[in-house]
Chains A and B, each alone.
Chain A
Amino acid sequence: MNALALPAPLPAALAAWARGGPGQPYVLLADRPDGTVVRCGDAVAKAHAPGSDPEALAARIRVAGSGALAGVLLPPLRTGAVHGRPVSLWPYGTPVDPARPEDAPWEEAARLLAALHRTGPRDLPGPVPPMRGPAKVARALRRLARAPQPDPDGVRAVRAAAATLPDWARGEGVPPAGGAVLCHGDLHLGQLVRHPAPDGPWRLIDVDDLGLGAPAWDLARPAAWYAAGILAPEAWLRFLDAYRAAGGPAAGPPGSDPWPELDLAARALTVQTAALALAKAAPARRPLDEGERLMLDSCVRMATFRAELEP
């Protein structure tokens, strides 16, 4: 028996690529269809989704490494390919402790987003692809459509809530022209790290969905959590006020009602979250957890108000 040794599993192969040799110790941080992430000491290697557009991904990683985003996005160390997948290497940063979401750096997250959104298009290193937020809504709805026997009442509510959105917000068709700025595209508390670890300044990570688009998308997850009753008003206002104070363009001037600006994107993220929750709960034959149930409740209320919500 020679030559035909089985290839190393992806996490081990990633670690070998990160460390420049096989048999390296690593910690598996994530292993999902859309990305596998391992930590090797002071670096983190990611294998991006198999279907990633390689040019768009390269452009996104270039943005993360550009001087214009220094202090906002964690810059990459290098890129490559492992098992035919595009891979990238990043410095390790300390994340928000998932057991202590109350420690979330809402003000810092808001200031980083405002800086991202205020980046001038001419400061970007070449053409930047669209932000993938709407594409992710579409993907969540497709995943729900394929899920085995999801809760039929839940599916009805999610579909009715999705019908309140314009086509472009569901990834069909082109967003309205104008107002597109550099956006993260997938903000949540797992997208913030302190670098250098453990107590350096906060940075945004994970540029797979980054691109030009509607900046309200980056505020929409916290907005949707707040609207559903998941995020306390105090935390929401810390985030919103810090974003406005930092000159962020997505939520109207300080003191004004932000919802005319945020409503559509917050509905889109609510639909996305509820669709994914139902799609994940169905094969596991489990009920929704409390947070998932509250997001679905928001969809039910959107369906009730659908005649009045701006399509």
Chain B
Amino acid sequence: MDFQTLIITLQGYWKDQGCLLAQPYDLEVGAGTFAPPTFFRVLGPDPWRVGYVQPSRRPSDGRYGENPNRLYQHHQYQVIIKPAPPEIQDIYIKSLLALGIDPRTHDIRFVEDDWESPTLGASGLGWEVWCDGLEITQFTYFQQMGGFDLEPVPVELTYGLERIAMFLQKVESVFDLEWADGVSYGEIRKRLEYDFSRYSFEEVPVDGYRELFTRFERESGDLLRKGLVYPAYDCVLKCSHVFNLLDARGAISVSERANYIGRVRKLAKACAELYLKGEEERDGDGTA
């Protein structure tokens, strides 16, 4: 199964499960969790089902396209279902069957892995799902987001698309993956991996980016005061990515680290709070 068919299959499967198919978010994020269809929509009482591909940038994981397993940017398939259905594990297993992974011929295991994102003020309990020893999905019952306890509890499924594709295609290097018939992953992505690795590790202008962080931080605060929650949150994502770049560049000392993360978290929490407030007002208007 080539890379794009893998994506289409998951899209089809989750569409049939009643998920809205969202498009990848158009800002740099480290994971699908950061995208608004997850960050905002897991908050509050409204039911929500969504699936989307999220290109995820992790500057410190860049390896100049030389490491067969590590990427500056990989792809996740992200599913959120709120409230988490009681039979969610079975529903998930069936998605593997749809990919041709039969749990009677492959060893599927749910291995304890509790998840936490200090940047988003988020945490959850769940597992890494292993398939023949390979971690293919992160399966998490969210408990908190933006510092708020979540009610009802959503489930997040994050498929590591490259890993699953490598598993299905039995290749040892991500760059040997078949993206589509006759087109390799390397052809599409390798140069980009090299360029962005060099950029992250060698070229990111440290002073300018430090300043950028502060500017986006300030802007986010301003926008929050104006009640513009989505643009305010975009600035949080910008801050987060700028921080990741500075970190990869080695420009952040250990003592500064916690401070930067704390600043992003503070804004993320404020966004969550403002979002919830807006939702309540909307509901209030509806019933008045």
The answer to whether A and B belong to the same complex is no
